[in-house]
Structure 1
Amino acid sequence: MDLPIDHFRLLGVSPSSDAQAILRKLQSRCDHPPDQGFTHEVLQQRQVLLQRSADLLTDQERREEYEAALLQLSETHPDGTVGLDLASSSEVAGLILLWEARASHEAFQLARQGLQPPQAPALGSGREADLTLLAALACCDAAAEDRELRRYEVAAGLLQEGIELQQRMGKLPDQQAKLEQALQALHPYRVLDLLSRDLSDQQAHLRGLALLNQLVSERGGLEGEAADAGTAQLAQSDFETFFQQIRRFLTVQEQIDLFGSWYEQGSEEAGCLVVFALTAAGFTRRKPELLEQAREQLVLLKTPDLDPMPLHGCIDLLLGDVAEAALRFGSLRDPDLKDWFADHPGDELAAQCDYCRVWLERDVLPGYRDVEPAGVDLDAWFADRDVQAYVDRLDRQAARQEESPTGSGMPDWLPLLDRPVSEFPEEDSVPAGEPESVTPAWTRQLPLGTMSRIAGAVVAALVIALVVQALMRQRTSSPRSEPTPIPVMPAEPQAEPSAPQATLKPEKGTVSALQPLTADQPTDDQLQALVQAWLDGKASALAGSGDPARDLASIARERLVERVRAEQAADAAAGRSKLIEASVTAVGPVNRAPQRIAVGAQVAYADKTLGGDGQVLEQTEPRTLSLTYVFGRDGKEWKLHDYIPGR
């Protein structure tokens, strides 16, 4: 065979070495043969080849002729490789010397060829054993060289060839296991190699995605719960560093798909990354529906070490839900973050916007191939036409819930809201006979016939309550001319007899005046009185006697007052009125700040809607509702800013 090596490399000496240095090297090589398990015969042949090279290089005349021949070959064949002719009996020994000379790639390929027909050795022969062992050793070293040069996929290809060869030979299970371990350890580097290539190499990119998915699945998710410390390619800390490095080679959509599949397989960290990827995609593409998906995903996460409130707050803010965002930011766990908000020079909303901007730039947008993390512009976000349309649609849905036909403003308990959002028209449609200028959003969206059908299931309970109350008070007046207020009966027996019960509302036009609340730190009783005054004023207005501007101006912000006024006008235009019984039975603090207070309240509630002829159109049976009331300080006065179902 033609061995691609010269005498200097075969012996391991420099072309400038003298005879004494060559002899010393010969002695060293003969005294230290490879000890990996080659046969005695091939090691003897190896020693003969070393001795032959040393004899030539120590003979001055022969050495000069050889060096002249090397020089001539380099001039006539500058790209050629010098070789040595070997007899077939010395082939394996020559390949061992080639491998020792760090020509591992050539040694592996030649050994592999020697094991295949028509050169395949006899089964069970020493030549077969030596070639099989040499192929495994040369393959492992060649792959290590490629790995050092960061040719990870080339190294993986060599290892796969070596494993297949060892499987076919079936002689060296220990060597096959070493090759498999080397291939497994190469897995993360292959992912990095394939994903970092130009996107024009689509096949390589898809292969990298598949390998990444396989790697994470084998580890049991991003947490590495299934990774064995003895067999894992990377320790968890190293894997996290590796993962951050490769994320920038993935598009945001690729990350959404990958993280979503890993979350479905049980990785909670992947669920967090889904939230970030959806937020990044939604913000950069101006698709708020993706932020809505991120918010829904965030609710599903079960990560006790993660405080979801800042994330919830930022997403709520981007979706235009300022009141809900304020509640989220008011429920922070991190004391340092609380101090940051308290020390912010601007108002509460300005602090939230600044935090959201930094959150997007630092935590959300970096780490994607197709997303630019710099230059977050919240003004441009809210000025976008698609964003405005989506936020308006959310507002209309919220308005339909808050301004439900019962007049309670408590949407979570009304049968109407069992209907999916898809059943409601996106554009307002005004029923005949209802002026658009005074018709609130929910009445423009829903025909009165629909609202009448909703009330049928709960009529009997309130009729009975009305009769009992009439008998107790021995009232003789007709409910057609002056409706009798309905006492709120608890839906279930109270656990403690001393628990406060709902009280009767004042008669028409007798809403008691409430002095503006100006205390720096209002007590729970003062806040409860403010909530009760709001409920009384709203009930009086919807009964057709009260004036929202007069009764509610010192209690609630203008936006809420206008909402009640619009509902009152809509009822008047439709020839109906509402009798509402709502009494605050308990309040408890949720969050307190110098300019904002949120309290949770239990409200005993019942209502009915009457037509122009005094007939009951709809009614809600007595029940206890849980709500959160948000108060803000307008100048020196505390006023109701918003109310939200739930606590």
Structure 2
Amino acid sequence: MRISLDYYRILGLPIQATADQLKQAHRDRALQLPRREYSEAAIAARRQLLDEAYSVLSKPEQRQNYDASFLASPYEVDHSQPDLAQTDEIAHPDARSPSIEIQDKQLIGALLVLQELGEYELVLRLGRPYLSSGNANLKDGRFGDPRIVLSDIVLTVALSCLELGREQWQQAQYENAAEALETGQELLLREGLFSSVRGEIQSDLYKLRPYRILELLALPDQDSIERRNGLRLLRDMLRERGGIDGTENDQSGLSIDDFLRFIQQLRGYLTAEEQQTLFEEEARRPSAVATYLAVYALMARGFAEQQPALIRRAKLMLMRLGSRQDVHLEQSVCALLLGQTEEASRALDLSQEYEPLVFIRENSQGAPDLLPGLCLYAERWLQDEVFPHFRDLSKQHVSLKDYFANVQVQEYLEELPAESESAEWTAQQQWNRRGAVSQTIAAQPAEIATSSGRPIRSAQVHEMDVDRSRNATATLSAASGIATLPNAEQIANLSPEGGLNSSDQRPRSSGDRQRGNLDNGYRVPDADDLPPRRGEGQPAKTKRRKGLPLPLLLFGIFAVGALGFLLFRSVKFLTSKSTDDQLLVQLDQPVIPIPTQTAASPLSGEMNQATAQRVLEFWLDAKKDAMGQTHTVEKLTQVLAEPKLAEWRKNAEEAKRENWYKQYEHTVKVDTVEVSPTNPGQATANATIAEVTKYYEGEQLADTKTDNLQVRYSLVLQDNQWRIKDWQVL
């Protein structure tokens, strides 16, 4: 049968290779044994092809004839043999490819050579037909023992899938890489072979999964099936990790901090609805980080789709966090968008976020309250910091005016129970009182310095973009007065009058104001512009609440303290990185080293005559390099152990310094090998060595010497490599 190979490629050389290069390549290829899982028959078939290639190309006349046929007309498939014709067709995707005739029993050797040359797709096209139809093509025995041949072909095809997957991984073709890896894994599972190789493939699939998720979620909306698959993979990772901030192992190689950055990056590929569904589900674990992300998704979607019911859900979720963290700005924003102006003002008064409050106050100068600055900040925050994290909102324009002008929004705000403000606020304060002790434990000191030196409140633990998201929430909190406006026209007509009292930072009475317009376009109303605030003039309804039993209170303090510690850890990772290093997992950069398969070292393996032969040949080559014209000592460090290593390094340095060198020609044959019965990492080898030495001083040949030696070598195993520790000439 014919196969798409040529003798030059078998040896890994170009057609212009010299005779010395042919000899060296043949030796190197022979020493580089394939994986230990291959059968002796496969290794022998591979060696036959190497020997055959060298035999033809090392003889000038045969090489000349081969070169002539190498460039001749393309091989024509013989369709008179149907089964082989199919094989040839698979082996020759390119009709002009050179090919050689091989024996049937050399098939596995040819596949092995192709796999080593990186022809992974060709191996799949050529090898897989033999694994179909119940492996019927192998049962007649013409390729060798069917059981052994099947095992070798399965291994070669599976390894080609593994290497093809890694190659496509490097090329950022993540789904193609996964398909190749899964193909190899399915083959091994079907045949029940090579569990160690299955383990390698599965490990790569785990590490590849974050890249696949990003690639799938980045697809256009019309690729809904693929995007759903990306979400499924993400949920699998979350389940295996135990949540966004979970500590279990999903085998991806991502630490908790890495995974949080990964979540931050993929948010830009998810819609607001997808994020809401995902993070609300994760918040039920419970997870404080997921709760905060769910709040952002609910607020963004509620505002963009003018569904204040979603904003109310976000507000209720914030109450879970309010007992442990300063989230008053976020609560103020939610109250603003729900028309609960008094509650928004109260929340804003409690906030400790310095920079956002400065911005709000600066943009409320001359106004009776903080409404103008809050409105401006809210719009900027939603536009610049919130919406960009949602693929369906990133280009949407933000307008508070349009939001409150919407009839659906107006109707919902009007239908909210009049007592909802006070009732919800009372409930929140109860949450806060329960968490007072835990705040002392987990949130003090209350500030964590960022890389820029600006203090960040511990409330920012839950934000995935600390600086920007925090500024955003601060703005929204101050806009509490909007909620009583029944329509957009009144919002547009707001004008500032009066200002903040410097002593208590509370708005002056409307009688102190002068009507006018702010530079930011908002207008602050007086008493005639606005209807009475909800609940104004009505006594607040309060309920007496029994204190918690002491054991329950202590348990709550312990639980909250533990969660506070987790939040502190989360914010520490978020604030310890510069903004340029926020995202660790990128589509074009590997987060973890992509594994590569390297050829087996000639110095490794079980000690026997073959291994000893390889070690001694390697040593003699290293000796040539060290004592030759270049005095290169790198190979010495790979094959010699002390004290011989230091001795021969010194010899090479002296030769270089004194400007002399030697040229060697060696032949070596290992006669016996004995492994120590008490220490399997030590062995002795007796060898016969024929050595021709030419001694040069400068460029002049000074002497020639021929030796036939019997040498006993002492070998030791270091770092899974056999090295020569000493020797004795017998």
1:342 deviates by 4.9
Residue in structure 1 matched with residue 294 of structure 2 by the alignment? 274
Q: Name the residue aligned to 2:111.
A: 95
Q: Which residue of 2 aligns with 1:119?
A: 137
Instruction: Render the CA deviation track for 1:283-309: whole Å, top value 9, x for unaligned.
Output: 2222222222222232244783x4221
Per the alignment, residue 39 of structure 1 pairs with 39
Which 5+ residue runs of structure 2 have no aligned equivalent? Answer: 77-92, 426-483, 485-499, 514-526, 544-730
- Give how far 1:145 is off: 0.9
After TM superposition, the structure 1 stretch with the greater mean CA deviation from structure 2, 137-146 or 346-355, is 346-355
> Alignment partner for residue 361 of structure 1, among 371, 375, 383?
383
Written as runs of structure 1 = structure 2, the 5 A alignment for 1:261-340 is: 261-301=281-321, 304=324, 306-340=325-359
Question: Following TM superposition, by how much is the alpha carbon of 1:376 offset from its aligned partner in structure 2, in angstroms?
Answer: 2.6
Shift of residue 147, structure 1, vs aligned partner: 1.0
How far apart are the structure 2 equivalents of 1:330 and 1:206?
A: 44
Q: 1:551-590: CA deviations, max 9, x gaps?
A: xxxxxxxxx9xxxxxxxxxxxxxxxxxxxxxxxxxxxxxx
Alignment deviations for residues 110-141 of structure 1 (CA, whole Å, 9 cap, x no partner): 44444441134688944344334333322221
Aligned to 2:271: 251
Cα distance, 1:595 vs. partner?
6.5
Question: Whole-Å Cα distance in 2 between the matches of residues 302 and 96 of structure 1?
Answer: 64
SS for the counterpart of 1:186 is helix
Alignment of 1:473-552 (within 5 A): none
**1:312 & 1:74 partners in 2: Cα distance?**
77
Alpha-carbon distance change, 369 to 636 in structure 1, aligned in 2, over 3 angstroms: closer
- Tell me the C-alpha RMSD between the 2 structures: 3.7
Contact in 1 for aligned 2:155/2:194 (Cα 8 Å): yes
Given the alignment, which residue of 380, 383, 400 partners 1:378?
A: 400
Q: Please state whether the residue corresponding to 1:370 is helix, strand or coil.
A: coil
State whether residues 212 and 230 of structure 2, in contact with CA within 8 Å, keep that contact through their aligned partners in structure 1.
Answer: yes
* Aligned twin of 2:157: 135
Q: Distance in 1 between matches of 2:16 and 2:395?
A: 59
**AA of the residue aligned to 1:376:** V
Which residue number in structure 1 is paired with residue 262 of structure 2?
Answer: 242
1:107 to 117, 123, 127: 123
Aligned residue identity for 2:380: V
Check the 8 A contact 1:92/1:130 in 2, yes or no: yes
**By how many angstroms is 1:336 displaced?**
4.2
TM, length-normalised to structure 1: 0.58
Matched residue type, 2:329? P
Counterpart residue identity of residue 87, structure 1: Q
User: Over residues 245-303 of structure 1, what are the superposed CA-to-partner deviations in whole Å (9 max), with x where a residue is unaligned?
Assistant: 32222222122222222223333322222211121112222222222222223224478
- Alpha-carbon shift at residue 196 of structure 1 (Å): 2.0
Partner deviation per Cα, 1:183-233 (whole Å, 9 max, x = no partner): 1112112222222223333321222222222222222111133236xx344
Query: Normalization by structure 2: what TM-score?
Result: 0.52
The CA distance in 2 between the partners of 1:80 and 1:388, in whole Å, is 75
1:153 equivalent in structure 2? 175
Residues in 1 aligned to 2:248 and 2:299: alpha-carbon distance in whole angstroms: 29
Distance 2:266 2:224 in 1: 16
Question: One-letter code of the match for 1:34?
Answer: P
- Would the aligned equivalents of 2:209 and 2:252 in 1 still touch at CA under 8 Å? no
How far apart in 2 are the matches of 1:634 and 1:311?
A: 28
1:23 is the counterpart of 2:39: no
- Distance (whole Å) between structure 2 residues aligned to residue 73 and residue 287 of structure 1: 73
Give the Å deviation of 1:331. 0.7
Question: Using the alignment, how far apart are the partners of 1:235 and 1:73 within structure 2?
Answer: 58
C-alpha distance in structure 1 between counterparts of 2:315 and 2:149, whole Å: 67
Cα drift, residue 338 of structure 1? 4.4
Identity of aligned residues (%): 26
Residue of structure 2 equivalent to 1:392: 414
Cα distance in 2 for residues equivalent to 1:164 and 1:78: 28
Q: How far apart, in 2, do the equivalents of 1:79 and 1:302 lie?
A: 72
Residues 385 and 74 of structure 1: CA distance in aligned 2, closer, same or farther (over 3 Å): farther
| Equivalent pair of 1:596/1:632 in contact (CA under 8 Å) | no
- Confirm whether residue 186 of structure 1 aligns to residue 208 of structure 2: yes
Q: Structure 1 residues 301 and 109 mapped into 2: Cα distance closer, same or farther (>3 Å)?
A: farther
2-structure distance, mates of 1:160, 1:410: 58
For residues 328 and 118 of structure 1, do their structure 2 counterparts lie closer, same or farther at Cα, with a shift above 3 Å needed?
A: same
1:15 and 1:256, CA in 2 relative to 1: closer, same or farther beyond 3 A? same
Q: Report whether the alignment pairs 1:210 with 2:226.
A: no
> Is the Cα contact below 8 Å between 1:288 and 1:387 reproduced in 2?
yes
Contact 1:596 1:633 in 2 (8 A): no
Supply the AA of the counterpart residue of 2:413.
V
> How far has the Cα of 1:377 moved from its partner?
2.3
Amino acid at match of 2:349: G
CA distance in 1 between counterparts of 2:262 and 2:177 reads 19
Could you say which residue in structure 1 is the equivalent of 2:190?
A: 168
Q: 1:452 maps to what in 2?
A: none
1: CA distance between counterparts of 2:339 and 2:105? Answer: 84
- 2:51 counterpart letter in structure 1: Q
Distance between the aligned counterparts of 1:25 and 1:322, measured in 2? 82
Which protein has the larger Cα radius of gyration, Structure 1 or Structure 2? 1
Counterpart position of 2:4: 4
- Per-residue CA deviations over 1:130-161 (Å, capped at 9, x if unaligned) read 33433332222111011112222222222222
Alignment deviations for residues 368-402 of structure 1 (CA, whole Å, 9 cap, x no partner): 221135643223322333333333333xx32xx49
Match of 1:441 in 2: none
Name the CA shift for 1:46/1:54 in 2 (closer, same or farther; >3 Å): same
Higher relative contact order (CA 8 A, sep 6+): 2
Counterpart in 1 of 2:629? none
Are the aligned partners of 1:187 and 1:233 in contact in 2 as well (CA < 8 Å)?
Answer: no
Whether contact under 8 Å (1:287, 1:387) holds in the other structure is yes
Within 1, Cα distance between the matches of 2:323 and 2:16?
68
CA distance in 2, matches of 1:324, 1:235: 40
When residues 2 and 283 of structure 1 are mapped into structure 2, their CA distance, relative to the original with a 3 A threshold, is farther
- For 1:135, give the aligned amino acid: V
Contact 2:501 / 2:508 at 8 angstroms: preserved in 1? Answer: no
- The 8 Å contact of residues 308 and 412 in structure 2, kept in 1 or not, is answered as yes
With over 3 angstroms needed to count, the CA separation of the structure-2 counterparts of 1:234 and 1:110, relative to structure 1, is farther
Contact 2:247–2:256 (Cα < 8 Å) also in 1: no
Change (3 A) 1:56 1:124: closer
* Post-superposition offset of 1:88: 1.4
Q: Measured at CA, do residues 64 and 33 of structure 1 come closer, stay the same or move farther in structure 2, by a change above 3 Å?
A: same
Please name the residue that 1:83 is paired with.
99
Residue 25 of structure 1 deviates from its aligned partner by: 0.9
Mapped to 1, the partners of 2:422 and 2:201 lie a distance apart of 67
Cα deviation for residue 59 of structure 1 reads 4.4
Q: Once structures 1 and 2 are overlaid, which stretch shifts more, 13-22 or 379-388?
A: 379-388
Residue 547 of structure 2 is matched in structure 1 by none
Alignment-mate amino acid for residue 325 of structure 1: A
CA displacement, residues 39-82 of structure 1 (integer Å, 9 cap, x when unaligned): 33322221220122223334455545544545455799976543
- Conservation of the 8 A alpha-carbon contact between 2:364 and 2:371: no
**Which amino acid in 1 is paired with 2:20?**
Q
